[in-house]
Structure 1
Amino acid sequence: MELSKEDCLRMYFYQSRLATFSGWPFDEDCACTSENMAKAGFIHTPSDNSPDVAQCFFCFKELEGWEPQDDPEKEHQSHSPTCHFIMLKKSVEELTTEELFKLQKERQKFHIKKICNQGIEKFKEAAKSRRGDIIKKAMEG
């Protein structure tokens, strides 16, 4: 799920993240309620096959296969220990403009890394396919 610049800035705020959790399969008597998920920086990014996919709006870490007892904050910290959003010691509303700009710079680094990794994976898949074609041709000849 690619967010527009405007939506990205909105996602710094809890209510905007919470609004993405329409149809979230976990509610009362669960640790991973939509409220706790949003507090931990997640947005709901379901697919047809996975209704419980959630992604950190900041570090782009996607997690699925949630269990009712999973603590979103602990899961986020264990799967993405370098996420600056989950490490914040104060609320977004308390950040100075300078702190917010620094935070946004770190988010951009995560975004660039994600895009580069996707490109590398596509290249590896294409190389593997091409290698298979070359081997097949060599066997025929």
Structure 2
Amino acid sequence: MANIEEMMGRFFLFGKMYSVELREKSFDNWPFREDCNCTPEMMAKAGFVHCPSENEPDVVSCFFCLIELEGWEPADDPWFEHTKRSPSCEFLLMGKDFSDLTVAEFYRLELARVKIYVRKLIHRKMECLRDAIDVTLKDINSQQNSI
């Protein structure tokens, strides 16, 4: 799972990723190339951008809903996996190529993408706050027990 800084960077970078060609370019070091369902072309068409790390070379994220998926197998279908894990992703529901969108449709989609980002950012910050509260409570309890 991306940390807050990674998520912020991805959000701004992913604003350019409405283009399937740009998404496909992110799969330079993708481990699945031929004789499989999850080729770079298929991954990009399903809305994914490759976001590898040292420990997770097959992590992808949807440029729109920001869902992260990993642990890909050659038989995995990117469209099925995306729909299964993020059925309300507006990219999936768009039903047409980006180049066919009207300006009004694009702005509506971009507004939805911003809302998703803000919601996920707030949830992530709340998780950090909960973790900090838990640490503080443990410290208080250990200090009380030592008195």
2:11–2:63: 8 Å Cα contact kept in structure 1? Answer: no
- Counterpart residue identity of residue 55, structure 2: N
- Counterpart residue identity of residue 22, structure 2: S
Is 1:16 the equivalent of 2:41?
Answer: no
* Percent identity (aligned): 41
Q: Which has the higher contact order (CA 8 A, sep 6+)?
A: 2
- TM-score, length-scaled by structure 2: 0.91
Partners of 1:114 and 1:69 in 2: CA distance:
30
Structure whose residues are more often helix by fraction: 2
Is 1:86 the equivalent of 2:109?
Answer: no
Show the 5 A alignment for 1:1-141: 1=6, 2-3=9-10, 5=12, 7-141=13-147
Deviation at 1:4, TM superposition (A): 6.8
- Counterpart residue identity of residue 93, structure 1: S
Deviation at 1:20, TM superposition (A): 0.5
In the alignment of these two chains, the number of paired residues is: 140
- Can you list the C-alpha shifts for 1:56-110, whole angstroms capped at 9, x where unaligned? 0100000001111110011011111111001121111111000000000000011
Deviation at 1:27, TM superposition (A): 1.1
Runs of 4+ in 1 over 3 A off after TM superposition: none
Q: CA RMSD in A?
A: 1.2
What stretches of structure 1 of length at least 5 have no aligned partner?
A: none
1:69 partner SS = coil
What stretches of structure 2 of length at least 5 have no aligned partner?
A: 1-5
Alpha carbons of structure 1 residues 22 and 64: separation in structure 2 relative to 1, 3 Å:
same
- Counterpart residue identity of residue 105, structure 1: L
Deviation at 1:8, TM superposition (A): 3.2
